Structure 1
Amino acid sequence: MIGSKILSSGHYVPEDIVTNDDLAKVVDTTDEWIVAHTGIKTRRVSLKGENTSDLATKAAQIALDRAGVSADEVGFIIVTTFTPDGLAPSTAALVQKNIGATKAWGFDLSTACAGFVFGLATADKFMKSGDYKYGLVISAEVNSKMMDFSDRTSTVFFGDGAGAVLLSTSEEGVIAGEEMHTKGDEKVVHSGRIAPLTSLSADNYPQIDAFVQEGRMVYEEVTSNIPTHIQDFLKEQDVTLDSVDYIILHQANLRMIEKISESLKQPMTKFITNVEEYGNSSSAGIAMAFDQLNSSVDLSGKKVLLTGFGAGFTYGSILLTF
C-alpha cells in the first residue's frame, strides 16, 4: 500500500529578534509578566519586508536542498497559514513561482494554529493516490502584520516563521493515524475579518481587523479538552502515551504546554518546544519544532505525536511512526 514518507524538513525565521523588553517600549507590559504568564523570552519578527510567501519559500528551499530534490520534481504545494500575503493569488502559488516548481499546483489551507496537522493529513491523501512523487507541506505565518500593538493580551505572544516538510511516496507510510475536529466559534479567536457593505459609496474600501483573542477562554478550552482528545486518539490507535517518544503541541504558550504535560502525566522532556525563543508562531510552530527535532535526533523506530489547536475552534492529532 502506498503511503507518504517525510523525506526532509526545514524551517526559517526572520533575523530580527524582539525581546520582551523591546515590546515593553511599545505596549504596557514587562519582561517579568510575559515570562511568568507565557514562558516566552524572545520572538522573531519580520521587520525587513519579508511576507508570508517569502518565509515559506525559504523554508521550502531548505527542505528541498537537504533532500537533493529539484523543485520541478514537486507535484503539489500546500501552504497552511492564516496570515497570507493576500486573498489571491494564494501563498502557495507565490511559493510555486519563487522556487520554480513548474510542474506543481498548490493551494492555501486555513485552520489557524492547527494548520500543519491539517495540512500534513491532507497531503498524505494526495500521496496515497500514487499520482505524485513529491509534495511540499509548508506552514508559514507573519503574525506581526496582524497585531494591534496596543493590545498586550495578544501582542506579547506572537512571532513570525515558517516550517516545511518534503513528502515522498513510500510502501510504509509515516502517518500511523490521524483525528481532526472543528467546533465553529468566531468569538474566542478571530483575525482578518472584512465587513460586508452596508451602502454604496465611492470612498468605500476593504478594511481588515487585527488579531483578537480571549486569552483566558483559549487557555481553559485547550487545557480542558486537548488532554482528553490526545488520550482518546491514542487509545483508538492502540498506542499508550508512555510508548510515544516525542510530543509536539501547538507552540501557543509554554505554561499551557506545561499544564497539558501535567494532565497527561508525561515529563516535559518528551515535549519539543520552541515557543521560548520563537513565540507563538501559529501554524508554523509545530512545523518548525518538528524540523528542529528531525535535524537533531535519529527518529528511526520512534513515535512522534503532533497535536495542533487553534481558532475555529479547530484541533487534531497525527501519530508519526518512523
Structure 2
Amino acid sequence: MTQQVFARIAGTGSYLPEKVVTNDDLSKIIDTSDEWIAARTGIRERHVAAEGETTGDLAFHAAVRALEAAGVQASELDLIVLGTTTPDLVFPSTACLVQHRLGAHGCPAFDVNAACSGFVYALTVADKFIRSGAAKTALVIGSETLTRMVDWTDRTTAVLFGDGAGAVVLKADADTGILSTHMHADGSKKELLWNPVGVSVGFKEHEPNAGVRINMSGNDVFKHAVKALDSVVEETLEANGLDRHDIDWLIPHQANLRIIEATAKRLDMPMERVVVTVDKHGNTSSGSVPLALDEAVRSGKVQRGQLLLLEAFGGGFTWGSALIRY
C-alpha cells in the first residue's frame, strides 16, 4: 500500500518595501481621511515599492527568508510557483526571474494569475506536485506591486492597496501538512473587479479609463466575497470531517476588515484567533495570505501542530481555501 504524502510547510518568509504611506499621507492628495478609511476598511497604512523595485525583487527577498527558515538550499528545490497579477514582464515569468536569482536552475518555475487568490492557487498546484511524487521540495510565493496600477486620484481604490510578498517552502512529509485545498472561479463577474487592459485587448475599447488601473464595484465585491468565503469554509470543513471550532487560526486574505470579521463570525471564531495584518499592509493581493502567515509564525502565534485555515477571494472572480496542519 502506497504511503500517503503531505506537503508540510517547512519555512515561511515575507518582505515589505521600505516606504510606508499612511492614511494621513493620502488625505493630502485626495479627499479622504484616516477616520474614513479606517472605519470602512480597517486599513491604517500600506507599503509602496520604490522606483525600480519590482514584484520579482519583493518575491526574491521573501523567498530567501523562507528558504533560510526552512534550512533549505535553493539547489534543493524541485518546483517554484509564484502567484501574482503584477508580473515584472509579460514573459518570461517572474518565477523564472526569481529562480535565476536564487540559483535554483533546472526545476520548473511558473506564475499563476488568480488575482488575490493567487497564493492559494499556487499553493494548491505545489501541493498536487508533492502529493503525486513529482516534487519533494517546493517554493511557493505570492508577490505584488499593486500600487503600480492604482489610480491615486480615485479614493475608492487608492486607499485599499499595498505592495508586498510572502513565501513558504513545502517539503514532502508522511505525517502532517496541507490536508486539503479548494479552488473556485466565476468569470461572469469579471467587470466587478478588474483591470480592463491587456496585450491582446489593448487600450482603445475602454477610454477614458485606459491604462493599467484597478476598477472595482466595492459593494458588489463585498457581497460576493462574504458569500463565496462562507461557502468555501463550509466545503473545507465538510471535506475533512471537522467542526468549525476545530480550527486554531483563521488566516484570511487581507482585503477589508469587515470581510474578515464577517467570515470569523460565520465560523463562530473570536477575532483573537484571526490573523489580521490589513491595518499595516492594506490589500497586497496574492501577497496578503503568506505575509499574514509569516507574521503569525514569526510572532509565535502559530505553533506546530495547530490547524490553520487559509482563504482568499479575488478578481475573476476567484476564491479558494487551504486547510493546513502546521
TM bracket, shorter-chain basis: over 0.9
**Residue of structure 2 aligned with 1:175, choices 168, 175, 178:** 178
Structure 1: gaps of 5 or more residues: 200-206
Provide the rounded CA distance (Å) in 2 between the counterparts of 1:14 and 1:57: 12
1:279 maps to 282
Aligned residues of 1:60 and 1:138 also touching (Cα < 8 A): yes
Q: Does 1:211 align with 2:214?
A: yes
Distance 1:14 1:198, change over 3 A: closer
Q: Does 1:152 align with 2:155?
A: yes
Aligned residues of 1:193 and 1:208 also touching (Cα < 8 A): yes
2:107 maps to 104
**Residue of structure 1 aligned with 2:307, choices 288, 303, 308:** 303
Alpha-carbon distance, 1:254 to partner: 1.1
**Residue of structure 2 aligned with 1:252, choices 248, 252, 255:** 255
Q: Using the aligned pairs only, state the percent identity.
A: 40
Q: TM-score, normalised by structure 2?
A: 0.92
Q: Deviations over 1:176-222 (max 9, x none)?
A: 122211111221111262264799xxxxxxx7431111111111111
Q: Deviations over 1:106-135 (max 9, x none)?
A: 000001101111111110111123233311
Provide the rounded CA distance (Å) in 2 between the counterparts of 1:114 and 1:18: 24
Q: What does 1:128-277 align with in structure 2 at a 5 Å threshold? A: 128-184=131-187, 185-191=189-195, 193-194=197-198, 196=201, 208-277=211-280
1:290 maps to 293
Distance 1:30 1:297, change over 3 A: closer
Q: Does 1:314 align with 2:323?
A: no
Provide the rounded CA distance (Å) in 2 between the counterparts of 1:227 and 1:133: 33
Structure 2: gaps of 5 or more residues: 205-209
Q: Does 1:47 align with 2:50?
A: yes
Provide the rounded CA distance (Å) in 2 between the counterparts of 1:155 and 1:197: 23
Aligned residues of 1:74 and 1:103 also touching (Cα < 8 A): no
Q: Does 1:125 align with 2:111?
A: no
Provide the rounded CA distance (Å) in 1 between the counterparts of 2:220 and 2:279: 22
Alpha-carbon distance, 1:232 to partner: 3.3
Alpha-carbon distance, 1:263 to partner: 3.1
- Partner-residue secondary structure (3-state), 2:14: strand
Distance 1:62 1:197, change over 3 A: closer
Aligned residues: 315
Aligned residues of 1:51 and 1:142 also touching (Cα < 8 A): yes
1:204 maps to none
- Partner-residue secondary structure (3-state), 1:149: coil
Distance 1:222 1:76, change over 3 A: same
Q: Deviations over 1:226-274 (max 9, x none)?
A: 2233123212311111110000111001122112222332211111011
Distance 1:25 1:47, change over 3 A: farther
Q: Deviations over 1:132-157 (max 9, x none)?
A: 33110000000110111111111101
Provide the rounded CA distance (Å) in 2 between the counterparts of 1:132 and 1:225: 31
2:207 maps to none
Provide the rounded CA distance (Å) in 2 between the counterparts of 1:136 and 1:96: 10
**Residue of structure 1 aligned with 2:118, choices 111, 115, 123:** 115
Provide the rounded CA distance (Å) in 2 between the counterparts of 1:16 and 1:209: 22
Provide the rounded CA distance (Å) in 1 between the counterparts of 2:65 and 2:308: 22
Aligned residues of 2:245 and 2:267 also touching (Cα < 8 A): no
Distance 1:69 1:32, change over 3 A: same
Q: TM-score, normalised by structure 1?
A: 0.93
AA matched with 1:188: L
Aligned residues of 1:219 and 1:256 also touching (Cα < 8 A): yes
